[in-house]
Amino acid sequence: MSTGGSGKGALQRWLSTGEMARLSGTTLRTVRFYEAEGLITSRTREDGTHRKFPERELHKLQLISDLREAGLSLQEIKDLIALKAGCPNAARAASEMTANLCERATGIARRIEALQRVHTELSSFLEMLRVCKGCTHPQFPAGCGECEVTAQPGAERANELFWKN
């Protein structure tokens, strides 16, 4: 891991492509792809072939990765990054960014609620399966649909999909 001086005498850490991937939980391919798409930037090393990234690019990569998981497309992320430069002054940029990010935040909140519902449903279904683990009825697997155990409340959809056949 190489270090070098930067402004104000702070230690500037340079990260390799592999370090970027590991520290962000992504892959080599993703790091290179995002660089090619202009989402993060690198300087080529002395050898002229290996990339080196300043630590700031790692933070950007981490947030981009999180936003992708939150459902934003790369184009939407690019648009957000370009938003400030397209505004004539700070007030305008701040209010446009606010409007856009408020929508995103609402979308993410909805997504969180949806995931919590799935998690709850899977938990109910797992609760039912605890009973099924001790099941010795000979009508398995065809008769499970008629079994009273599968009436576990909150697990209806999981039962339809995974258990009733």
Partner DNA sequence: TTGCTCCTCACGTCACGTGAGGTGGC
Nearer to its own copies by Cβ, of 50 and 86: the residue is 86
Options 8, 9, 75, 90; binder of DNA; rule CB under 7 A = 75
Nearer to its own copies by Cβ, of 32 and 100: the residue is 100
62 touches DNA (CB under 7 A): no
Q: Which long-range contacts (CB under 8 A, 24 or more apart) does 57-64 make?
A: 57/15, 57/20, 58/15, 58/19, 58/20, 58/23, 58/24, 61/20, 61/24, 61/26, 61/31, 61/34, 62/23, 62/24, 64/34, 64/39, 64/40
Nearer to its own copies by Cβ, of 50 and 66: the residue is 66
Stretch that binds DNA, among 47-55, 117-125, 135-143, 148-156 (CB under 7 A): 47-55
- Minimum CB–partner distance for residue 10 and its own copies (Å): 14
